[in-house]
Structure 1
Amino acid sequence: MTEVPAGRPLTVLLLAGQREGRVDPLAEATGVTLKAMVPVAGCPMLLHALTTLAKTPTVGRIVVSINAGSGIESLPEVAALIRDGRLDIRDARPNLVDSVFFALEGQEFPVLITTADNVLLTPATVREIDGAARARGADVAVALARREDVLAAHPDGQRRFYRFGCGYYSNCNSYWIGARSALAPAELFRTGGQFVKHPSRVIGALGVAGLFELVRFRFGLGTLEQGCARLSKRFGLDIRPVVVSDGATAIDVDAERSLKVAEEVIARRRAATDETASRRAPAAA
């Protein structure tokens, strides 16, 4: 169990790197080099997550792991965060896990690790994940969303879900780590993660135990809490699920379909914000 000192800010690692030599189809289709720079609703993908993190009161330092020479420091929003001492940029390594360890050298924990394509992340959800993980004394917390909440956010929001005895869930690409010693489960992602798309990676990461996890997963045996309890035993850490309220958190931008979905959700949110502002305007006057 991790005991985080009260009031300690949350560090956030934003993973925005891309494998060298790989051409991302979405980046290519929109005329940019890196997926993190793909325009989403009028601005680079990366800026959606950065803006959210900068607006979250409990977030202290932000670390961006991205390919060398990305040029993101020339973006005004990025330059402002650097001047304020809130943002570090670290060169991504060839492997996802190595990128995580390199980016977190010298950083203070707890840390929330998330991805640049998580454009629908909100300050409320960041605080929800952080608050739940601290309250439960977790070493590691994994954010997930219920299928019904994801589909309520957008009917085409996600097509793949993890099946458990208690329901269907989608990964939100957000992981809370309480202390540096709790980084061991990061090795699960050395082969790339995306276990719904590539179930064999579970076996590669967990050995024989992974085979049993695949059987449980295939037949929906056991609850979400029970699955995390087994992982906790495997790694000797307290690994907890955090089921977030906002199903849109599970909608990441990885193709033209999900890009369109994300932009529709963003447009709906902006319209709701404008409507709220217009209702308050007469009272303020």
Structure 2
Amino acid sequence: MESCRKVTALVLAGKRAGALDPLAARAGVAQKAVVPVGGVPMIERVVQQVAACPDVGAIRIVAHEQGEIAALPTIAALMRAGRLSFVAGHHNLVDSVVAGAEGAAFPVMITTADNCLVTPEGYGEFIAGCRAAQADGAAGLAREEDVKAADPQGQQRFYKFRDGGYSNCNLYWLGSERAVKAAEIWREGGQFVKFPRRIIKAFGLLNLVRFMLGNGTKEKLFTQISRRFGLQLVPVVLSDGHYAIDVDNETTFAVTEKILICRERKEAVAPRVSAAH
């Protein structure tokens, strides 16, 4: 049954061509994916959480420089167990996704190496939402009020719709090989809030006007995109605003590290409280 089939997780850990990320330069590493946050490399944190989700089977990491990542203990252990493999990255988001999905067992869930705050429960919630909608493709979103409640500095950009603001969680779904063509939406890197002209290219001028004016619902926008691609593409709204906070710069690095340290302290206290009872 479809609901029992394990999901292949695709973790995007590429790097920009010809430029060392400022966070990587400060940390003295070759790529952003291995920058330590709270003492643990970003991609190791992400893979730990992905691997702990019971809905996820195989894990693929799309990367340009594999050696530095493959040497991390969690990554090495999953490779030895035959659960994790690498795919060579391209200096284009779409080509990296297409390469990562080639030969994979569908459905495929896409996340990123800097998505340090998504938990196994968050991945499970997203997968369940995609399955419930019988989606060919999907994007994970979080409500503006939930993101700001998680941390007011964690995310400053939101897509505005009639029913409120939403932020992208860098979580995507490809329900079948046929859905890979929907990855063309991100041919120029996504980030439609920063670069509205990309909406014109992907969705058309009328949709850009509606998008910028907040004149419509997110469901209507996804319906229009679905018609363009001939696929069932849906938004999946997640319950936790933390999932929309990723590590983009020094500010979000500090926010993410603060949240992780607080979360880990609470987790450390919880067993002691349970034992006392």
Same fold (TM over 0.5): yes
**Distance in 2 separating the partners of 1:217 and 1:105:** 32
Q: CA offsets per residue over residues 123-150 of structure 1, 9 Å max, x none?
A: 1110111011111111111100000000
Q: Which amino acid aligns with 2:223?
A: A
CA contact (8 A) 2:59 2:85 kept: yes
Partner of 1:159: 156
Distance, in Å, in 2 between the alignment partners of 1:155 and 1:68 is 34
Whole-Å Cα distance in 1 between the matches of residues 138 and 95 of structure 2? 20
What whole-Å deviation, never above 9, does each CA across 1:242-284 have from its counterpart, x for those lacking one? 100110000010100000000111112112212211111123x
Partner of 1:245: 239
SS where residue 71 of structure 1 aligns? helix
Matched, 1:232 2:201: no
Task: Report the alpha carbon displacement of residue 72 of structure 1 after superposing the two structures with TM.
Answer: 1.5
2:170 matches 1:173:
yes
Cα distance, 1:20 vs. partner?
2.5
The within-5 A match list for 1:95-174 is 95-174=92-171
Amino acid at match of 2:166: Y
Distance, in Å, in 2 between the alignment partners of 1:247 and 1:37 is 24
1:89 alignment counterpart: 86
> Equivalent residue of 2:3, what SS?
coil
Note if contact 2:196-2:208 (Cα within 8 Å) is conserved in structure 1.
yes
Aligned amino acid, residue 153 of structure 2: D
Question: What are the Cα deviations for residues 44-97 of structure 1, in whole angstroms up to 9, with x where unaligned?
Answer: 111111010111111100000011354221111111000111101111012111
What are the equivalent positions in structure 2 for 1:1-285 lying under 5 Å apart? Answer: 5-206=2-203, 209=204, 211-283=205-277
Query: Is the partner of 1:6 in helix, strand or coil?
Result: helix
Identity of aligned residues (%): 47
Contact 2:44–2:72 under 8 Å retained in 1 = no
In the alignment, the residues of structure 1 paired with residue 194 and residue 19 of structure 2 have an alpha-carbon distance, to the nearest angstrom, of 19
Q: In 1, Cα distance between the equivalents of 2:225 and 2:110?
A: 19
How far does the alpha carbon of each residue in 1:166-199 deviate from its partner, in whole angstroms, 9 at most, with x for none?
1000000100111010111211111111111111
SS at match of 2:170: strand
Of 217-226 and 62-71, the range deviating more from structure 2: 62-71
What secondary structure, in the 3-state scheme, does the structure 1 residue paired with 2:2 have?
Answer: coil
Q: TM-score, normalised by structure 2?
A: 0.97
Count matched residues.
277
CA distance in 1, matches of 2:68, 2:262: 31
Please identify runs of 4+ aligned residues in structure 1 that moved more than 4 A: none
Structure 2 CA distance for aligned equivalents of residues 275 and 151 of structure 1: 26
Q: Which amino acid aligns with 1:236?
A: G
Q: Which blocks of at least 5 consecutive residues in structure 1 are unaligned?
A: none
Give the alignment's TM-score, normalised by structure 1: 0.94
User: What is the CA–CA distance in structure 2 between the aligned matches of 1:220 and 1:165, rounded to whole Å?
Assistant: 6
